[in-house]
Structure 1
Amino acid sequence: MADRRVEAEPDIAAEVVRLGGWLPLAVQIIAALLAAEPDRPLSAMAAELADAGERLNVM
């Protein structure tokens, strides 16, 4: 089942993957976090991940 957030905001989805360092495990963790909060906008996750000092804490 596709996540409609990715379809609606493909550029932000790509940014989230980039902020995860293109690392499969990081992307999988981020995806699991987003799946657990289906109402959370991708932009909110991207904003949290943008803070490099907090990135690991977010994940």
Structure 2
Amino acid sequence: MNGDTAVELIWFAGAFALIVSALVVRRLPAGQWVKMGLAWAAIFALVFMVIRTWQAVT
């Protein structure tokens, strides 16, 4: 594991913790919890892909 991979792993863990903590605090039914969790995961994945693509271009 190189330094970049470690940073990406830490970033992913932080993003995941943010998603989970936001959903747990709201105390939603399980169906809505999963739906909102997937939406947040998609948002973070999109931001991550944009950043990676931008870094690859520059």
* TM-score, structure 2 normalization: 0.36
What TM-score do you get using the length of structure 1 for normalisation?
A: 0.35
